[in-house]
Amino acid sequence: MDALEAGDDFIITRNGRPVGELRPIQPQRDVVTSDLKARFARFAGAATAAEERAEIDAAFGADRLDD
């Protein structure tokens, strides 16, 4: 438990085969709604799915599924 509290992760095995993980719980952060709105405001620019797709293509390039 001391190692777990210190931040160490553990892999639990059965007969040498991994079956689970034991890791420390991450502390929860209090997030204010206004902060979330500010963080995600940049995603609300497109009014339609087509506009959103155009913004994505402009940023990352068009899909190339035929290659």
pLDDT, tens digit, 9 for 90 and up, residues 45-64 = 667 888 878 877 887 777 76
The domain ranges of the chain are 2-60
User: What are the tens digits of pLDDT across the range 23-43?
Assistant: 999 887 787 888 877 777 766
In sequence order, what DSSP letters do the residues of the chain get, joined into one string? -HHHHTT--EEEEETTEEEEEE-PPPPP----HHHHHHHHGGGG--SSHHHHHHHHHHHH----TT-
